Amino acid sequence: MSLAEEVELLKRIPLFANIDTSKLKLLAFTSERVRFPAGQVLCRQGEIGRAAFIIIDGEADVVVDAETGPLTVASVGRNDFVGEIAILCDVPRTATVQARTDVTALVIAKDQFFRMITEFPQMAIEIMRVLALRLERTTKEAARARLTA
């Protein structure tokens, strides 16, 4: 994929929709494009977060360790953003993200991610919205799991 194609991809992600093209070029240039075969872990619950991931292609499951064993709390796919909680909050990873199919992801290092948030406050607002939606979904999933346990 060319730099121009990666920039177009980034523009389709709500988090980056209002970011200047030149900044998106820099983000695409400084990020690493990585392929994860089906079954491979992108990040593991409990690890220190050093990067976030934008799914370019493929699907992955978000899994948390529960009392009853691993619990899939979400699935992510093209244009989804994962792994940001650990780098935003400076806490260990809150979930494992595992490729369900072959996944291609853009890996954004922690320092680059913070530079983008600092320069573009609207990104921080979008991140808060996404995190709030995830919290709601996770809470519902946990409640459902308790009812079936």
Backbone angles phi, psi at 121, to 5 degrees: -55, -25
> Cα–chain-centroid distance for residue 45?
13
Q: What would the mean pLDDT of 124-130 be, rounded to a whole number?
A: 80
pTM as predicted:
0.80
Burial of 149 (0-12, 13-18, 19+ CB in 10 A): exposed
Q: What would the mean pLDDT of 101-108 be, rounded to a whole number?
A: 94
Confidence of residue 37 (pLDDT cuts 50, 70, 90): very high
Confidence of residue 58 (pLDDT cuts 50, 70, 90): very high
Upper half-sphere CA count for residue 66 (Cβ side, 13 Å): 18
Confidence of residue 149 (pLDDT cuts 50, 70, 90): low
